[in-house]
Amino acid sequence: MPISVVMPALEMAQETGKLISWLKKEGDPVRKGEPLLEIETDKAVMEIESPGEGVLSGVKAEAGAEIPVGKTIAWILNPGEAVPVEEVAVQSGRQTMRTEAQTPASETAVVRPATAAKISPKARRLAKELNVDLGQVRGSGAGGEILASDIETAASGAKAAALPEPGTIISPMGRLMAERTAQSWTTVPHFFVVREVDAGALNEARLKIAVQVEKDGLRITHSDLLVALVARVLARHPRVNASWTANGIRTNA
């Protein structure tokens, strides 16, 4: 049975993910649990493992593409199988069936009214904050789902208002962004560290450990090793994982 490769949701409010690179080419054999692609979210770049064993086929997304969560981007096929005409896309915890058969151009231009089942929680919350009419918004997500980016576009494209006085913000979206940026900079300490390191030892360690754990049917990735290393560092330097509160510095176990 063909296995779909979809853009996963790695964060609670995540709606899209950026495809950084494919670690396999179309037509390459892949094993279940083997690193297949890299994606970037708002917080990190993660390796995504293959959901099954077979041949990578029907790749639809290129590196650099911003892809809605749940959208099928490739298939894993076994001998005798073909890329299905119908796809099952899982988005925001809901399952939506959509057919990829060709449709007349006149049909693709139709704007369907938005329904509650096709609006992500983040988009609904943002629409309320920006006073955007959901019935006038066209969804760009998989299956026509309305995303937060669609709400932002609708808010910025609202009818032009009179020019404001100097020093004021024109759009509701701009006002919201300014408020949240100011809150972030005043309540969260910021610092930046950039350093180049030689990852040769990390690669060697992964290969050695992989030989041991593969006997038990397990796979190990660079991300697994980095998580373990960060955990050791935080245990040795607990103040790095501390928070500032009204009562002083709180160390998080």
Q: Which residue has the higher pLDDT, 41 or 224?
A: 224
Same domain, 8 and 73: yes
In a domain, 78, yes or no: yes
Instruction: Please tell me whether residues 36 and 117 are part of one structural domain.
Output: no
8 lies in the same domain as 95: yes
**Number of domains forming the structure of the chain:** 3
Which pLDDT score, from 0 to 100, does residue 91 have? 38
In a domain, 120, yes or no: yes
**Tell me, what's the pLDDT at 101?**
39
pLDDT at 165: 55
Same domain, 69 and 139: no
Structure tokens, 132: 């955007």
Q: Tell me, what's the pLDDT at 166?
A: 58
Residues 62 and 123 in one domain: no
| Residue with token string 């160390």 | 251
DSSP 146: B
Lowest mean per-residue pLDDT among 46-60, 103-117, 234-248: 103-117
Q: Please give the pLDDT value at position 86.
A: 55
User: How remote is the C-alpha of 220 from its chain's centroid?
Assistant: 22
Q: What integer is the mean pLDDT of 223-233?
A: 92
Question: Is residue 174 assigned to a domain?
Answer: no
Helix H or strand E encompassing 176? helix 172-187
Amino acid at 238: P
Which tens digits make up the pLDDT trace of 22-47?
A: 999 999 999 998 999 998 876 677 88
Residue 12 resides in a domain: yes
Return the CATH number at 25. 2.40.50.100
pLDDT at residue 173, as a whole number: 65
Domain assignment present for residue 194? The answer is no
Rg (CA), the chain: 23
Distance CA 13, CA 25 (A): 30
Q: What is the pLDDT of residue 164?
A: 53
Same domain, 11 and 94: yes
89-134: pLDDT as tens digits:
433 333 333 434 344 443 433 444 434 447 877 888 888 888 888 8
Query: pLDDT per residue over 132-187, tens digit each?
Result: 888 888 888 777 888 888 888 888 776 444 445 555 555 666 777 777 777 777 76
Residue 192 lies in a domain: no
User: Average pLDDT over the chain, rounded to whole?
Assistant: 77
Q: Whole domain around residue 233: which residue ranges? A: 200-251
pTM of the model: 0.39
| 88, 17: one domain | yes
> Do residues 218 and 142 both lie within one domain?
no
Residues 84 and 120 in one domain: no
C-alpha span between 114 and 121 (Å, rounded): 14
Helical H runs in 132-221? 148-156, 172-187, 200-213
Rounded CA-CA distance 120/114 in Å is 11
Bridging pattern class, strands 29-30 and 45-49: unpaired
pLDDT, position 141: 79
